[in-house]
């Protein structure tokens, strides 16, 4: 499979999922579990189409091709365990940088990050679920900043339930409406842009302010 075919599969998740259902039947549940787990658990796979996949899976549940309660349970589990793995990877790296004297590391910044997650980390973990790319990095940063495990899991589970239930249910009720189905690719691109652009602009604004202060 070349790169163009891969991106075509991401942009046309409805066709891809339909093909997987036709070829693999019930085994598609394992495929969906793996995709959600990997997107949330491995920072290198941040580009996986989690939002779209949940929505389309909900649409297939409405047609009776997939089981709604089973899908919900599996994907919530995948989202929770994926984030937990990502958190522990970050935690392992975080402990190392806290205990070693690296010249390139600003430990004060790391401590400030830890304090931020202790104060606002819950909201960050929950809201990040709905922002592509950010949701993959948020648990990793939480682990690096040494956010307590109990606090992380509380918001991790809450965010996973809200994310999976809202998108699968939205797909269940609206995914098979002709106008939505026919313009799904456009809706996906607009959704990603709406989620990512404010984050990028916010980062650029903060970066420009820092440059202005230095100047």
Q: Which tens digit of pLDDT belongs to each residue from 101-147?
A: 656 555 665 666 666 666 777 788 888 888 777 788 888 888 887 78
Tell me how crowded residue 115 is: count the other CB atoms within 10 A of its CB. 12
For the chain, the domains span 3-214
Please check the confidence at residue 81 and state whether its pLDDT lies above 90.
yes
Q: What is the DSSP string of 150-181?
A: HHHHHHHHHHHHHHHHHHHHHHHHHTTSHHHH
- 0.85 exceeded by pTM: no
CA angle 183, 187, 192 (to 5 degrees): 155
How does pLDDT run across 27-39, given as a tens digit for each residue?
888 888 988 898 8
């Amino acid at each position: 499979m070349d790169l163009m075919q891969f991106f075509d599969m991401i942009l046309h998740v409805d066709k891809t999922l339909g093909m997987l259902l036709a070829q693999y039947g019930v085994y598609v549940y394992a495929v969906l579990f793996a995709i959600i787990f990997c997107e949330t658990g491995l920072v290198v796979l941040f580009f996986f189409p989690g939002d779209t996949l949940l929505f389309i899976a909900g649409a297939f549940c409405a047609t009776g091709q997939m089981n709604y309660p089973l899908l919900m349970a599996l994907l919530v589990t995948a989202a929770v365990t994926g984030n937990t793995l990502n958190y522990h990877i970050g935690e392992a790296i975080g402990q190392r940088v806290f205990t070693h004297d690296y010249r390139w590391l600003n430990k004060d910044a790391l401590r400030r990050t830890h304090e931020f997650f202790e104060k606002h980390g819950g909201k960050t973990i929950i809201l990040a679920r709905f922002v592509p790319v950010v949701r993959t990095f948020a648990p990793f940063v939480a682990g690096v900043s040494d956010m307590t495990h109990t606090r992380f899991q509380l918001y991790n589970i809450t965010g996973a339930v809200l994310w999976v239930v809202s998108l699968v249910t939205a797909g269940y009720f609206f995914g098979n409406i002709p106008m939505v189905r026919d313009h799904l690719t456009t809706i996906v691109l607009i959704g990603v842009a709406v989620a990512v652009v404010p984050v990028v602009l916010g980062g650029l604004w903060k970066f420009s302010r820092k440059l202005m202060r230095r100047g």
